[in-house]
Amino acid sequence: MPLSARFRFALYAAFATLFVTGAAWLIADALKDGDDAETWQIIAANLLMLHGGAAMLALMLLGALAPLHVQRAWSTRKNRTTGTAMLSFNAVFVATSFGLYYAGAEGFRPWISGVHIAIGFGFPLLFFVHVLLGRRQSARQAGNPRRIRGADGGQASGDRQQRTPGVQVRRW
């Protein structure tokens, strides 16, 4: 499910901003107890504000991604493994973000923060592999007329080759 260049760029920009501001916040937070403590504290607060803003944009984009990308890819059975990992990572991002804002218990917050940061550093690699494998699968299938038929029998997916009469189809 190739995305429009504009939508794809918005996704990359939002997640790159999240990664950069999150990583930079960790540095600023580590430096805020040393010299220039006040400056680093201000920088850290601004970075977190940018991070929160980018998170709101990312949530809007994820909402749009469901009908534009996820549903269509799912019904044609493409890239489901890393796609599921993408969905799971984002669900954990959202759940831990909620926890960062609202978790009351003292001992719980560092734990939530640790999970959020750990998946944050793994996410770029997953994203890269997802796009790479997805594009490879699409390219391979486009060059092969013996294509898979989606769960909807190719009716709703709009996939031209699935409608080709007489083509022998295979399920997996």
Q: Residues 53, 24: contact at Cβ < 8 Å?
A: no
Q: Which residue has the tokens 């796009």?
A: 131
For the record, the structure tokens of 149 come out as 């038929």
Residue 70 CA to residue 83 CA, distance in Å, equals 8
Choices 33-41, 119-127, 146-154, 156-164 (CB under 6 A): range interacting with ligand HEM = 119-127
How many residues lie near ligand HEM (CB under 6 A)? Answer: 47
Among 46, 53, 103, 130, binds ligand HEM (CB under 6 A): 130
Binding to ligand HEM (CB under 6 A) within 27-86 occurs at 48, 51-52, 55, 58-59, 62, 65, 69-70, 73-74, 78-80, 83, 86
* Residue 2 lies near ligand HEM (rule: CB under 6 A): yes
Choices 18-26, 35-43, 144-152, 156-164 (CB under 6 A): range interacting with ligand HEM = 18-26
Binding to ligand HEM (CB under 6 A) within 141-170 occurs at none
Contacts of residues 3-10 at CB distance under 8 Å and 24 or more positions apart, as own/partner, are: 3/68, 3/69, 7/61, 7/64, 7/68, 10/57, 10/61
Distance of closest approach, residue 143 Cβ to ligand HEM, in angstroms: 12
Q: How many CA atoms lie within 13 A of 18 on its CB side?
A: 26
Q: Which residues contact 112 (CB under 8 A, 6 or more apart)?
A: 96, 99, 100, 103
Choices 32-40, 115-123, 146-154, 157-165 (CB under 6 A): range interacting with ligand HEM = 115-123
Residue 11 CA to residue 27 CA, distance in Å, equals 25
The CA-atom distances, in angstroms, between 62 and each of 3, 24, 49, 53, 55 are 13, 24, 20, 14, 10
Query: Which positions lie near ligand HEM, rule CB under 6 A?
Result: 1-3, 8, 11, 15, 18-19, 22-23, 25-26, 48, 51-52, 55, 58-59, 62, 65, 69-70, 73-74, 78-80, 83, 86-87, 90, 93-94, 97, 100, 113, 116-117, 120-121, 123, 130-131, 134-135, 137-138
